[in-house]
Chain A
Amino acid sequence: MDNKRKYVIPGDVVTTGPFRPEQNVILEGNKIISTTIGISEIYDDSVKVIPLTGKYIPKINDLVIGKVISHTSLSWELDINSCYVGFLPAQDVFGRDFSAHADELATKLKSGDLVAARIANFDRTRDPLVTISDRDLGKIDSGDLIKISPSKVPRLIGKRGTMIQMIEMATDAAITIGQNGWVVVSCESPEGLLKAKKAIEMVNEKAHVANLTDQVKEMLESKGES
């Protein structure tokens, strides 16, 4: 192969030879074929494709932002922007001595509330189980929700968090990114909020551009001076 990274679409042969197929590739004979639109990466012994499109598929330990759809007497259901609904059991919030008679779920979370949650368990047989009993998790009281494409979340975070740190530093905003493509921004100053939102939307639209970090930086700084 001439270079390591390349743009691929489904059916494209990424490489041939003894490689281990990882994300979004299949092994067909000795050819490694991409199954999605994305950017292929070849490592020493493995090949993967980073997708540029597609829905969010829950993964264990992912931080997601969910919206409460409804609740029964035992659990809440969260919209986590996926093809499955997040399942949040009442014990997770009320503790182990939860009683369906004594405790009313609506007192803690109402439908429409936003929560930061973690995928506790997920397999193909059941809907994803989420938890909010951890530091930094739980109900989100303030901030603006921005929806971006889940496949662009890694771009928004940047290499070791550089992109998001830069936006946070420049605008003084607190940004919570859910792996499912939902982002909550809260900021003391309205200008900072607007600027942070604009930066996030910029990343969403221009995710494939090479020197995006510089462009975002430029945008953040230019607005700051005027």
Chain B
Amino acid sequence: MGGRDATMVLLDENGIRCDGRKVDEPRRIMIKAGGLKNADGSAYIEFGDNKILVGVFGPRDVHPKHMSNTDTGILRVRYHMEPFSVGERKNPAPSRREIEISKVIKEALEPAVMLDKFPRTAVDVFIEVLQADGGTRCAALTAASVALADAGIPMRDMVAAIAAGKVADTVILDVNNEEDQAGQADMPIGYMPSLEKITLLQLDGVLTPEEYKKCVQVGVDGCKIVYELQKKALQEKYFGNGDN
């Protein structure tokens, strides 16, 4: 961050990035809806080297009772990284970072879910990061919205997410771990494609106003790619292949 000198070449003269991708090319994304029998809804995502499993429960009784809201259902999100998800063992206790990401994902999903239909209940989203490689919050948000749809929670739209960023003075799509560490900016974006609304936008780094606009545009375009894959995952589970 902040343009720290890297030994690695992040972007070569042909516009190829450190992992061989083009500037506007996302990593390999694989999404699978369902898979967990005991959860009401679930999803598994592989986003490059990220591997994330999401389980959704609910709507169900709220415990502790005082958290319940008589006007609407509540959404609770837990983002958790497994001890083995990163290079050096991570303490399984929730860290400051995980608590923040849980909150950020919750707030990114809230505009999409329509919990006012289920007063006095809670919808719980459990996100387990099995393997992390930069951009887990976007991958987790993407998988969480697939899992919510799988659970049959009414939603205004799916939330697709991807990060845009700046590396070697160039705006790129889908920042990986190396680019996140050594790049100049990282901007995770959550987007509802049908409603054309942004639900998550964070920025770490420095951008000029022009770069900022470009970053948002690149990110939104990336979200549309992710959205197609979310759609495909749900269609595969519910309608089999291709018959639409």
> Could you tell me which A residues sit within 8 Å of B by CB distance?
6-7, 9-13, 24, 26, 28, 31, 33, 35-37, 51-55, 57, 83-84, 124-125, 151, 208
Contact = CB atoms under 8 A, between A and B. Distances in A.
Interface in B20-69: 40-41, 58-61
Interface residues of B, number: 37
A33 B157 CA distance: 8
Interface stretch (B80-88, B113-121, B213-221): B113-121
A8 to B, nearest CB: 9
Which interface residue of A10, A28, A33 has the most chain B CB atoms within 10 A?
A: A10
A52 B243 CA distance: 16
B114 A9 contact: no
A36 B149 contact: yes
Given A11-B192, A11-B195, A83-B58, A33 B156 contact: yes
Contacts of B120: 84
Given A7-B244, A124-B119, A24 B154 contact: yes
Contact of B61 (A10, A12, A83, A125): A83
A124 B192 CA distance: 28
Interface of B: 40-41, 58-61, 70, 112, 114, 117-121, 149-158, 192-195, 227, 231, 234-235, 238-240, 243-244
A55 B244 contact: no
Given A9-B158, A37-B234, A55 B59 contact: yes
Contacts of A12: 194
Given A9-B149, A83-B61, A35 B239 contact: no
B149 A37 contact: yes
> Lowest 3 CB-CB distances: which A-B pairs, in order?
A54-B152, A11-B157, A53-B152
Contacts of B112: 10
Given A11-B193, A28-B195, 19 more contacts: A7-B239, A9-B231, A9-B235, A10-B112, A11-B194, A26-B156, A28-B194, A31-B194, A33-B157, A33-B194, A36-B155, A54-B153, A55-B59, A57-B117, A83-B58, A83-B118, A84-B120, A124-B119, A208-B240
Given A11-B193, A12-B194, A13-B194, A37 B158 contact: no
23 contacts: A7-B238, A9-B149, A9-B231, A10-B155, A11-B155, A11-B156, A11-B157, A24-B154, A26-B114, A35-B114, A35-B155, A37-B149, A37-B150, A52-B152, A52-B238, A53-B150, A53-B152, A55-B40, A83-B59, A83-B121, A84-B120, A84-B121, A124-B119
A10 B118 contact: no
B69 to A, nearest CB: 11
Nearest to A25: B154
Contact of B238 (A11, A28, A53): A53
A10 B239 contact: no
A51 B238 CA distance: 11
Contacts of B152: 36-37, 51-55, 151
Contacts of A36: 149, 152, 154-155
Contacts of A37: 149-150, 152, 234, 238
Contacts of B231: 9
Contacts of A31: 194
A2 B231 CA distance: 20
Nearest to A53: B152
A208 B243 CA distance: 11
B70 A125 contact: yes
Contact of B41 (A13, A53, A57, A208): A53
Contact of A9 (B41, B61, B70, B234): B234
Contacts of A57: 117-118
Contacts of A208: 238-240
A35 B239 CA distance: 17
A7 B239 CA distance: 7
A84 B61 CA distance: 7
Contact of B244 (A6, A11, A51): A6
Contacts of A83: 58-61, 118, 121
A166 B227 CA distance: 42
A181 to B, nearest CB: 12
